[in-house]
Amino acid sequence: MYYIEVEKNIKILVEDLNPNGKDTIFFIHGWPLNHNIFEYQFNVLPKYGYRCISIDLRGFGDSDKPWNGYSYDRLSDDVRIIIETLGLKNIILVGFSMGAAVAIRYMSRYYSYNVSKLILLSAAAPSFVMRPGYPYGMTSDEVDDLIKQTYENRPEMLSNLGSIFFASSVTPSFVNWFQNIGLTAAGYATIKAAESLKNEDLRSDLGKINVPTGIFHGRLDKICPFEFAEQLKIGIKNSKLYPFEFSGHGIFHDELKKFNSTLLEFLRK
């Protein structure tokens, strides 16, 4: 575990497992979490020879928490700087939820720079909210309500989010683990990133993705409806959709064995 400076006095936490692995997977977490959500993949993938790099986005987890810099452009710039600093080549880029949106912006903004494959998990994309010609997802008012809850009672907001996050039954201790991860973020970072979720539109980014792409999405997702994945499949060339019949938004855990085996299958292609 180490830190990389992406702007003056702004450092990003990097977890680097099995640095001598044959292939590198770079993970970007979702809102309002941190890299620890991938625990149940990190337990497995290094055993198959993969180097697993994950980060805490600015404002989240153990990374620095500046007041500004939560647009998809800036977050994808941070990813680019980390990839360059570490000299990474031909990586497999994995994004979950808002992290998938950041990964898409990275692919578009930097022309897939040093990425050989893309994996989108429960992606908050191509748009998290309903727009003209896009009748899927939350309304802007519903996101505003999430932001209002964050201003007034962030633990309660996270508790409410956790109640719809997983489709499978999870224990109270697991729910506490999930909520504690969310509480490591700065409140203002949680708010500003939610504003990006509301305001950003990635539909024009999709056509710029030119690497094999796996779209993993739960049919029971109550946060990013399955229609998001169908729209991504239409918009991204050379993509394959992997539906998970019994998974909600927490696709990395709801059908854990199936998810990990399907992930390995795509990685090996």
Non-local CB neighbours of 19 within 8 Å, separated by 6+ positions: 51
Report in angstroms the alpha-carbon separations of 118 from 26, 110, 123, 231. Answer: 10, 14, 12, 16
Distance, CA of 2 to chain centre: 20
Write down the catalytic residue from 122, 249, 253, 254.
Answer: 249
Question: Longest Cα pair distance anywhere in the chain, in angstroms?
Answer: 47
Residue 195: name the closest of 70, 68, 101 by CA. 70
Q: Is 189 helix (H, G, I), strand (E, B) or coil?
A: helix
Pinpoint the alpha helices (H) of the chain: 39-42, 72-86, 98-109, 140-165, 172-183, 187-199, 226-235, 251-254, 256-267
Write down the catalytic residue from 221, 239, 247, 254.
Answer: 221
Report in angstroms the alpha-carbon separations of 264 from 22, 182, 261. Answer: 14, 27, 5
Cis status of the peptide bond prior to 135, with omega within 30 of 0: no
Write down the catalytic residue from 54, 97, 108, 196.
Answer: 97
* 221: annotated active-site residue: yes
* 122: annotated active-site residue: no
Cis status of the peptide bond prior to 243, with omega within 30 of 0: no
Interatomic CA distance for residues 31 and 158, integer angstroms:
11
* 201: annotated active-site residue: no
End-to-end Cα, the chain, rounded Å: 29
Instruction: Enumerate the active-site residues.
Output: 97, 221, 249
